[in-house]
Structure 1
Amino acid sequence: MTDKRLFLLDGHALVYRAHYAFIARPLINSKGINTSAVTGFTRALWDLMQSQKPTHIAVAFDLSGPTFRHKMYEPYKANRESQPEDITTAFPYIMQIVRGFKIPIVTAEGYEADDVIGTLAKQAEKEGYTVYMVTPDKDFGQLVSPNIFLYKPSRQGNGIDIWGEKEVTENWQIKRVDQVADLLGLMGDSVDNIPGLPGIGEKTAAKLLEQFDTVENLIANASQLKGKQKEIVEQYAEQGLLSKKLAIIDTSVPIQFDAESFNLDPLDRDILSAVFKELEFRSLAKQILGEDEEGTPAPAPASRQGNLFDDQPAASSAPPVKTTSLSAHSVAEHDIYNTPHDYHLVETPEQRAALVALLGKQKHFCFDTETTDIDPNLADLVGMSFAVKAHEAYYVPVPANRAEATAIVMEFKALFESEHIGKTGQNIKYDAIVLKTYGVEVEGHYFDTMVAHYLLEPEQRHNMDYLSETYLKYKPVSIETLIGKKGKGQLTMRDAPLEKVKEYAAEDADITWQLREYLEPNLKSEGLETLYETIERPLIRVLVGIETEGININSAFLEKYSEELNAGILRVEKEIYEQAGVHFNIGSPKQVGEVLF
């Protein structure tokens, strides 16, 4: 094998890094579990596997017990806060995911993951491997060699950093990579509670090593120093030597590199499917496992015209269809192929009149529009769908001719403009604007499932597919199955077969109706009904008006105000530079930190 590349992952460091990357806006699923650490770790692992194509791989984790460093120095890492509960919850899932990828987990009693990685890296190097230590921890720089590299994962889209000997020595301002341990011995490490020498920072430590090469040689020649620095080195000599020992990564751990067991094998789809499903990892599951494991789904069962227009029994009384398009990792358990439903195509004037009569008897109904554009002011209607109970819905196609389309919409005008009949929708603002362009004002009580969910779970996503899979355990028909994937060959809604459009559009109204049945009681039980009724619901109507009519802007005033703000910014910047006594990039948190601290 000519391409022998081993990637050794610092498990704990990557997990903590993933958790804190989302600390300002954690990823919480519908079960209330913080999945930030699991998501970040899994995505980093998968990105590495896809971009670097390692031939061999392993993940090292710290064990919970004390290490040899604690025996050398009892306060070692004693300043660290206890592990966050969310990370403790995440670890069992992360272990399952690593096993699902069939990646070996390596640990050693009495040693840290750093030591395990260092030992395996040196052993693999002797066997002709190029080794990448995957960690954000710069301390690993002491292990770098012509065949061992420090692989620092990307952060906030900045890309990966791969450090060889040149990068390590330049970053630390030292001559050799083994001096990393000497540097840490002098300056200490507050993260690991390594004391170092009091008053010796990174820059001073680098200068001392440039002159004396090692901690031992510095102590032996302390007489060449002057003043306070001489006093510190002489007084804390033993502490400096101990700090260096604590900083050295042990490469003689009783563990053996086994090339065969570190091979990158095909992943275990069953394990990953189960974990992804439990954690509701839709995007990751699709990316890693693929959308459809089960092959092409069986065609949707034909829907009959139900009892609105004839005396035939509704299809909802039939037994469930057992075929499904759902993959094993899907959060949902149901879809259109295994769920009894009765979706009606409403094409004739007589059928539309019957539907209008049915809707007119309701206290509220759900509706949705199918259009040609995501901008409601530019969109043409393709059709309208309606629902008044679960698993049954109606689709009214609308022709491309504007006059003919408007005539059909007018048949429903009295219904939409009735203040006595409530209207339910998912992002109902869009549908109200579309109908407004056809001369219809949507009146009555609005219930918007998207807004309701925003009030209940502001940090989560609010699109219909997410809500349906999460709360109804139902996976809606994908728009791509209707019009194809994006590109030159993609159809429009008007080009798609009418029967498929009917199933897709009616399903939207059906799902939205069911979501109202789930979300409305929760608004009440969580004490959010007043907030919805007094602020959010009235605001929808205001936004419909604003987005339809537009707003007037005094551009001359804004230009003048912009000049005033710019002058104010320059004045404040000048004051900052005067007080700081140095010019720096105010927009850089790193530079601001250096100036302040």
Structure 2
Amino acid sequence: SKGMDTSAIFGFMNSLLDVIKRERPDHLAVAFDKEGSSARTEMYVQYKAHRDETPEAIRVAVPYIQEILKAMHIPVIEYAGCEADDLIGTVAKQAEKQGYQVFMVTPDKDFAQLVSENIFMYRPARMGNGIEIWGVPEVLERFEIERPEQVIDFLGMMGDAVDNIPGLPGVGEKTAKKFLKDYGSMENLLANTHELKGKMKENIEANKELGILSKKLATIMLDCDVSFNETDYELTKPDAEKVEALFHELEFRRMAEQFGKLFDHGEEYDEIKTQGLAPTKTILKTEQQFSLFGIDPSADDDGTEKVPGYYKTLEDTEHFYQAVQGNMGISLLLRDLMKQHVVSFDTETTGICALTSELVGLSFSWEKGKGFYVPIPADRAEAQEIVNKFIPFFEDESIEKVGQNLKYDLEILHNYNITVKGKLFDTMIAHYLINPDMRHGMDILAETYLRYSPKPIEALIGKKGKGQRTMRDVDLEEVKEYAVEDADVTLQL
């Protein structure tokens, strides 16, 4: 209400509390940048020089986040002239030497260079994707290398536009992987440029020093002046009163309630209520699984575990979705629709603008795991004829209609002269009313409340850009699965 942008604080705290609830770590700390990397700037004055100024929301967020962490008794690690990457690397390696299994919570691929038998990357869920754990097998497969340390060579060869690491001219991801297969390291590549040909040989031979510099810039430093102290890093009882006071100041009403439910009786971290959350698992290439911060009680004697990953998906969830076409099929579907008291529906269209988009299909669900999809042809007259068959359903005031962002669906149907009557339940609006602090997209709601990760639309039509398709271009079977999933998930929400 004061006009302060609290989105970065909220996003960070959501992630932090999720990790604590789900993984229940024994030790935890949070690293922050402070004045960048003096060592890298000395090596290369242009390092990160092109980065935009830190967004206002993040500048505002950091002091609040650190104050909350202090109240939660979670150590803050920062050191002038050291980047957070280097602090995490230094502490991770120290903790490993003391016998700890370490999980670095970050989506940044640069950290893959630190992965070992006891150090893992914990990549948080985002953009519709579930949590990923990268151990040694995952890193070797992702970068097509033999040892995690070769990630440094990979990054040095490719460069990094975000950090302004120059790399070798003309070398992209595919070429870097090929060079590492052939030569194993930056140094060995540069020692054998006589085997290269044409412009590539010319470019690399002219920029050998730049290649070595790029590798140094990409190397996470492990000698920062910080120390892992197991007593300091151990999670202890939070000052719940101070935390909740900060949440109320920030108007994080729902988060304050959730935190209160977790810690209202002054529980220790290892006693908090986890509401059935199981520790995250990942399938390794050895076909073994492991749980974060300890072995799962369901593990076999050999240490392998039986429980799959945290989020369910369409691929591992039993469901019955059916495409309905032809007069007889539509008549039978309409007959069943008219018997229902509550039905979730969704429209599939050619775009996101309700004024210009055309209907591609209609999906319906009134029972968990089941639903139907009616494809709508491009020809307007034929489309209108099919849509008209559903007028009795849409105008029946005794049937409650459920949807996610119903305003869009209603506008699309209005373009086809359909007026939706009766009670309406919009899951997006409902969630805003009970939890205004969070985002309200269906994917986020499904992951939060159903432990389910819906199929992203990009999997069907591709990413935004000139090459992106429309739903009209996608195979019927794929559209059917995607569209009915939306209606099914919305019904469950």
Structure 2 counterpart of 1:166, from 137, 144, 168: 137
Distance 1:593 1:174, change over 3 A: farther
In structure 1, the partner of 2:463 is: 589
Distance 1:464 1:153, change over 3 A: closer
AA at the equivalent of 2:131 = I
Deviation of 1:585 after TM superposition, in Å, equals 5.5
AA at the equivalent of 1:68 = A
- Counterpart CA distance in 2 for 1:108 and 1:293 is 34
In structure 2, the partner of 1:540 is: none
Distance 1:171 1:237, change over 3 A: same
1:278 and 2:249 matched: yes
* SS of equivalent to 1:260: helix
- Counterpart CA distance in 1 for 2:162 and 2:434 is 44
Percent of aligned pairs with the same residue?
49
Structure 2 counterpart of 1:56, from 1, 4, 27: 27
In structure 2, the partner of 1:113 is: 84
What whole-Å deviation, never above 9, does each CA across 1:411-470 have from its counterpart, x for those lacking one?
xxxxxxxxxxxxxxxxxxxxxx99xxxxxxxxxxxxxxxxxxxxxxx999875998xxxx
For the 8 Å contact 1:63–1:107, the answer to whether it is kept is yes
* SS of equivalent to 1:151: strand
Deviation of 1:590 after TM superposition, in Å, equals 8.0
Give the greater-gyration-radius structure (CA). 1
Deviation of 1:158 after TM superposition, in Å, equals 2.4
- Counterpart CA distance in 1 for 2:182 and 2:261 is 58
Long gaps (5+) in structure 1: 1-29, 296-377, 379-432, 435-457, 467-583
How many residue pairs were aligned?
Answer: 293
Long gaps (5+) in structure 2: 267-340, 342-396, 399-427, 437-457, 470-493
- Counterpart CA distance in 1 for 2:72 and 2:265 is 20
Query: For 1:117-516, what aligned pairs fall within 5 Å after superposition?
Result: 117-290=88-261, 463=433
AA at the equivalent of 1:242 = L
- Counterpart CA distance in 1 for 2:215 and 2:435 is 55
What whole-Å deviation, never above 9, does each CA across 1:517-562 have from its counterpart, x for those lacking one?
xxxxxxxxxxxxxxxxxxxxxxxxxxxxxxxxxxxxxxxxxxxxxx
- Counterpart CA distance in 1 for 2:121 and 2:35 is 25
Distance 1:462 1:184, change over 3 A: closer
Out of 30-39 and 139-148, give the one that drifted further.
Answer: 30-39
What is the Cα-based RMSD across aligned positions, in Å? Answer: 3.2
Distance 1:105 1:292, change over 3 A: closer
Deviation of 1:88 after TM superposition, in Å, equals 1.0
Distance 1:288 1:464, change over 3 A: closer
Deviation of 1:206 after TM superposition, in Å, equals 0.6
- Counterpart CA distance in 2 for 1:199 and 1:159 is 34
Query: For 1:13-92, what aligned pairs fall within 5 Å after superposition?
Result: 30-92=1-63
In structure 1, the partner of 2:68 is: 97
* SS of equivalent to 2:230: coil
What whole-Å deviation, never above 9, does each CA across 1:143-185 have from its counterpart, x for those lacking one?
0000000110111442210000110111111121111110111
What whole-Å deviation, never above 9, does each CA across 1:256-288 have from its counterpart, x for those lacking one?
110000001111112212211111111111111
* SS of equivalent to 1:133: strand
Distance 1:234 1:59, change over 3 A: same
- Counterpart CA distance in 2 for 1:594 and 1:169 is 31
What whole-Å deviation, never above 9, does each CA across 1:93-124 have from its counterpart, x for those lacking one?
11111112210001122211111111111111
* SS of equivalent to 2:229: coil
- Counterpart CA distance in 1 for 2:178 and 2:430 is 51
What whole-Å deviation, never above 9, does each CA across 1:336-368 have from its counterpart, x for those lacking one?
xxxxxxxxxxxxxxxxxxxxxxxxxxxxxxxxx
- Counterpart CA distance in 2 for 1:281 and 1:593 is 40
- Counterpart CA distance in 2 for 1:594 and 1:195 is 31
- Counterpart CA distance in 1 for 2:431 and 2:154 is 47
TM-score, normalised with respect to structure 1: 0.46
In structure 1, the partner of 2:489 is: none
- Counterpart CA distance in 2 for 1:192 and 1:279 is 32
* SS of equivalent to 1:56: coil
For the 8 Å contact 2:39–2:81, the answer to whether it is kept is yes
In structure 2, the partner of 1:496 is: none
For the 8 Å contact 1:133–1:149, the answer to whether it is kept is yes
AA at the equivalent of 1:269 = A
* SS of equivalent to 1:150: strand
Deviation of 1:136 after TM superposition, in Å, equals 0.8
Distance 1:461 1:154, change over 3 A: closer
Distance 1:195 1:286, change over 3 A: same
- Counterpart CA distance in 2 for 1:229 and 1:149 is 35
Distance 1:464 1:230, change over 3 A: closer
- Counterpart CA distance in 2 for 1:151 and 1:465 is 27
* SS of equivalent to 1:290: helix
* SS of equivalent to 2:254: helix
In structure 2, the partner of 1:324 is: none
Distance 1:85 1:593, change over 3 A: farther
AA at the equivalent of 2:462 = S
For the 8 Å contact 2:125–2:132, the answer to whether it is kept is yes
In structure 2, the partner of 1:515 is: none
Distance 1:205 1:462, change over 3 A: closer
